[in-house]
Amino acid sequence: MIVITKPDITEERISEITQYIERNGVQPHVSRGTDRTVIGIIGKAEPTLADHLRQLKGVENVIKISKSYKLASRDFHPDDTIIDIKGVKIGGSNLVIMGGPCAVETPEQIDEIARLVKAAGGQVLRGGAFKPRTGPYSFQGTGVEGLRMMAEAGKKHGLLTITEVMTPEYVDVCAEYADILQVGTRNMQNFDLLRKLGTIQTPVLLKRGFSATYDEFLNAAEYILAGGNPNVMLCERGIRTFESYTRNTLDLAAIPVLQSLSHLPVISDPSHGTGRRELVEPMSKASVAAGANGLIVEMHTDPDNSMTGDGVQSLFPDQFANLLKDLEKLAPLVGKQFNTEKQPAEAFATWKM
């Protein structure tokens, strides 16, 4: 249930209403929007509560919400959530670009890629230190050592960092080194992990499970929000369909649908969403045109020798830079601003194909 307050309501009155809600044994969540303050109610309320609330001074309307997720829904929080990480804003009209390798391999590799991401105008360095691999004999990542390498490269080149966390036990160490924690597609419903992420404030990029519906996806986000961490972004990374030409089918419709159902930023991953390098550029542009708040793109200086085999979907650095140049032109056409601190072309000079 949500309580929509009158436009001229005072802070004092909002506080009286929230106290009234608490006295009724349920939990109020206040969301201050540009036009209105909305009070969401969580918990099992007495059937008569809605009628009582409707009669209170300062209340314009009370609406019952049937969705199973509450804090993630736009009904509870009409304005876009904007997550500010060290001055980089994610959500609303800002377009954020995250780029980097599938996995952190060596200090030299991540340093060089970080330099190229920054030079192209990206704001976030991606790289997995703990890799969720389909087979147990495949390369599993460089672990804590990889986290250190990436944190150093991010700091040196002025980039935020994002890395995947797979288990609750590793949340604290990953949060110590990275600015954003990624929950991979295979862990979207790892509820212990989601609960643990709800106990910290580090921003989380939650990837859609490859067979998850929008409702299941938003309920997974709800676990993190309900735990007390409001800094969640959703990531469409492709779903499993009957088509085998592409690794996954990037569900472009998910972008506007999730943005209508939820206030959380929506990031698109055209790399895992297609599994094919030549499709990353068109699907990146399509994602931005569909309203994505950002992209997470794999880029590698030596994709043929990438340690995870995701080289086939990784852009070469010059392709990444050209994509960002085009996105700079596209962004304003779809109401987005792309704040890049690009560096001159010489920044690419030492990288050889």
3-state secondary structure of 112: helix
Is there binding between residue 185 and ligand PEP (CB under 6 A)?
yes
Is there binding between residue 272 and ligand PEP (CB under 6 A)?
yes
Q: Which residue is closest to Mn ion by CB?
A: 102
Is there binding between residue 266 and ligand PEP (CB under 6 A)?
no
Q: Which is nearer to ligand PEP, 30 or 297 (CB)?
A: 297
300 binds, among Mn ion, ligand PEP, none (CB under 5 to 8 A by kind): none
Task: Find the binder of ligand PEP among 115, 157, 207, 336 (CB under 6 A).
Answer: 207
Q: Which is nearer to ligand PEP, 2 or 125 (CB)?
A: 125
Q: CB of 41: closest distance to Mn ion in angstroms?
A: 40
CA contacts within 13 A on the Cβ side of 73: 20
Burial label, 350 (beta-carbon count in 10 A; 0-12, 13-18, 19+): exposed
Type of residue at 229: N
Antiparallel, parallel or unpaired: β 160-164 and 124-126: parallel
Q: Which is nearer to ligand PEP, 40 or 209 (CB)?
A: 209
Looking up tokens 């087979």, which residue turns up?
135
81 binds, among ligand PEP, Mn ion, none (CB under 5 to 8 A by kind): none
- Residues 70/42, Cβ–Cβ less than 8 Å: yes
Q: How far apart are CA 129 and CA 142, in angstroms?
A: 5
Is there binding between residue 277 and ligand PEP (CB under 6 A)?
no
In order of 27, 68, 203, the CA distances from 30 in angstroms are 10, 18, 20
Task: Find the binder of ligand PEP among 40, 99, 100, 128 (CB under 6 A).
Answer: 128
**Element spanning 160, H or E:** strand 160-164
In order of 48, 134, 177, the CA distances from 62 in angstroms are 12, 48, 44
Is there binding between residue 119 and ligand PEP (CB under 6 A)?
no
Q: Which is nearer to ligand PEP, 38 or 296 (CB)?
A: 296
- Sketch the per residue contact string, 3 through 32, with ligand PEP: x for CB under 6 A, - otherwise: ------------------------------
185 binds, among ligand PEP, Mn ion, none (CB under 5 to 8 A by kind): ligand PEP
Q: How far apart are CA 178 and CA 172, in angstroms?
A: 10
Binding region for Mn ion (CB under 5 A): 102, 310
Antiparallel, parallel or unpaired: β 37-42 and 27-32: antiparallel
Burial call 249-281: b when 16+ CB within 10 Å, e when fewer: bbbbebbeebbebbbbbbbbbbbbbbbebebbb
Looking up tokens 């050209």, which residue turns up?
322
Is there binding between residue 142 and ligand PEP (CB under 6 A)?
no
207 binds, among Mn ion, ligand PEP, none (CB under 5 to 8 A by kind): ligand PEP
Task: Find the binder of ligand PEP among 40, 184, 209, 303 (CB under 6 A).
Answer: 184
**Would you tell me which residues interact with ligand PEP (CB under 6 A)?**
102, 128, 132, 184-185, 207, 237, 269, 272
